[in-house]
Amino acid sequence: MKMRLALAIASILILVVHGFIFYKQFFHKWETYQASYFDQARTLAKTDQEKDALSGRSAKIEQIIVTQFGNERVDRCTTCHIGSDDPRFKDAPHPYKAHPYSAELGDKQGADGKWERRHKFSDMGCTVCHDGQGRGLEEFYAHGEDEFWNDPMIGYVTQENWKYKDKLKGKEFMQANCAQCHTDKEFKSTPLVNKGRELFIQKNCYGCHRIEGISNGTLGPDLSEVGKKWKLDYIYESIVDPRANSKTSFMPKFNLSDDEVKALAIFLKSRRGFNYAETNLDRYRMTLNKGQVTPPAPVTDKSPVPAANDPVARGEQLINERACVACHKIGDKDGGIAPDLSFEGLIKEDKWVAAHFKDPRALVPDSIMPTFGFSDADYQAMTAYLVSQKKTPSLNNPQEIYTNLCLRCHGDKGDGHGTIATYLDPYPRDFTNAGFMNSKTDDRLMNSIKNGVPGTSMPAWGKVLNDDQVKGVLTYINQNFTKEARTEIKKRDVPEKNPVADTPESVAAGESIYLQRCTGCHGRKADGKGPNSLDILPRPRNLLNAGFINKAEDRRLFESILYGVQGTAMPPWIDYGLSKDDVGNVINYLRSLNKNKKDLVAMCH
């Protein structure tokens, strides 16, 4: 009996819940809207024709199925916005309000005062211009307020968790969608897309990013489909704060005004990997061209100043136009991202500068400098200008020298965290690391300052400073940053030359030792990016850096491997059972990795 009672109660419970669910299912907001629309329309209907049209209609889900724009779209927006194409409702409140007519959109007013739309809703649907979720019938989903919908109604609706929601409203954002069909670069109704496209070139974004049909950069992510894959907020944030979403990003924070960011964001939102104006043939042609580097150079064409004849003047002109100082420092203009070029004529030869322009990573393997596809003549002019920067700075004491030449990379505290340090790889040396500093001889440190460190951003300051000045800076560094008295450096038994002959067997033996012992930090590819590398500072050396490895003497490599590098994560391998022969094999292996790049070494200083 008890059981029967419980059963009855449980059954009633189910019944109640069912009632609730049925209620939720059958009483929709949109039905209320439609009922109200029909009421209003009936009172507004004047002619018999209008009345007849209404009498046949009842509440139902309205939908527009659009097939000509990309994948099939189903837009049910008109279920609530049922008066959107009814001119009698032009002043009604939302959702009954009629879509305004606009000459700007191409709508035409006939002689009888009636407007005709250029973009017919029955052909286009709604979401093709407005975004939002056409299939949804609840405001929250239909308008894209749901955080899992990438395209809320553009310019109108932002999502709760958007960081920059204040900046992302305004119907001008819809230009991103106009550009889906109106791909003409000069199309006058999409000024912000056009401006964004120009900025993409002007601010050198194209150097790193690829956008199909526009650029071929490979350093940063491909942005051809960025508008399809990301929310407006994410795009905006990635421009304003590149490391907000990807901690390892080395994209600089560019100095852009709000309007510029907006234009760029709108331009990027318009990149959806395809546009409706393209034919399949266009797309096929694009894929055929893919391998071909066709550098955009609209900035040169648009140059307001006529090209100067003198290569140095022309070079200066180009360097200014191409916003090199958006990253680099030249004189008092400082982009705060890339090395100082003010003394380029003193510290680099024209051969090096020209080669570096063509392929920065051939000389500094981990450089983030993009390869710009300028013409040879342009490169020559730019090189000529840079090597003309020969004015020796007047630097009176070590402190001035440090402040002017070293501080930008090594930082005011000497800890290697200078303003541009994040963009340099290898990272600038930390002078406060006494373990390292005091394990190296004065000669070695002097040598690094005087002759630079090949394959890195450290230039040969010996060409700007005399020996006394170099010594002075070193003392300054030692007193102010390292702060520990120099200690006697242990003499170690290290051969000057690698005693193991460079044979294929030795290389193979070296490789197998390398794979066993070194890959954790230096990586399987020996590029210094092993799985542990991210947790280590200073970072493991990139052993494919030919400039560095080929310039390093056997003795130095031997010592670093056998006895470790103090103050870094490199352990003394002699303690872990490596013999001198083993080390010799490893060195032969490392040298073999860099062998075919020997001609570059001549270039490094």
Residues that bind another protein (CB under 8 A): 3-4, 6-7, 10-11, 13-14, 17-18, 20-21, 24-25, 61, 71, 74, 76, 133, 135-138, 141-142, 148-150, 229
Closer Cβ to another protein, 4 or 46, answer by number? 4
- Cβ-Cβ contacts under 8 Å for 250 (sequence gap 6 or more): 368, 422, 423
Minimum CB distance to another protein, residue 225 (Å) = 8
Per-residue DSSP letter, 78: G
Closer Cβ to another protein, 226 or 363, answer by number? 226
Minimum CB distance to another protein, residue 76 (Å) = 7
Residue owning tokens 């194409």: 85
Minimum CB distance to another protein, residue 14 (Å) = 5
Closer Cβ to another protein, 242 or 311, answer by number? 242
Phi-psi region of 416 (alpha: psi -120 to 50; beta: other; left: phi over 0): left
Minimum CB distance to another protein, residue 9 (Å) = 9
Minimum CB distance to another protein, residue 410 (Å) = 30
Contact between residue 255 and residue 326 where contact means Cβ atoms under 8 Å apart: yes
Which sign does the torsion angle of CA 463, 467, 468, 470 carry? positive
Minimum CB distance to another protein, residue 139 (Å) = 12
Closer Cβ to another protein, 305 or 534, answer by number? 534
Closer Cβ to another protein, 21 or 602, answer by number? 21
Minimum CB distance to another protein, residue 26 (Å) = 8
Contact between residue 314 and residue 374 where contact means Cβ atoms under 8 Å apart: no
Query: What does the CA dihedral 547, 548, 554, 555 come to, rounded to 10 degrees?
Result: 150
429's tokens = 């040396």
Closer Cβ to another protein, 86 or 138, answer by number? 138
Minimum CB distance to another protein, residue 243 (Å) = 14
Q: Which of 557, 550, 454 lies closest to 514, judged by CA?
A: 557
Closer Cβ to another protein, 20 or 284, answer by number? 20
Contact between residue 343 and residue 380 where contact means Cβ atoms under 8 Å apart: no
Which sign does the torsion angle of CA 533, 567, 408, 349 carry? negative
Q: Which of 302, 314, 334, 308 lies closest to 418, judged by CA?
A: 334
Closer Cβ to another protein, 72 or 112, answer by number? 72
**DSSP line for 23-54:** HHHH--HHHHHHHHHHHHHHHH--SHHHHHHH
481's tokens = 């940053």
Minimum CB distance to another protein, residue 208 (Å) = 17
Closer Cβ to another protein, 13 or 515, answer by number? 13
How far apart (Å, rounded) are the C-alpha atoms in residues 58 and 42? 12
249's tokens = 């990003």
**DSSP line for 520-564:** HHH-TTSSS--TTGGG-SSPPP-TT-HHHHHHS-HHHHHHHHHH-
Residue owning tokens 């056009």: 194
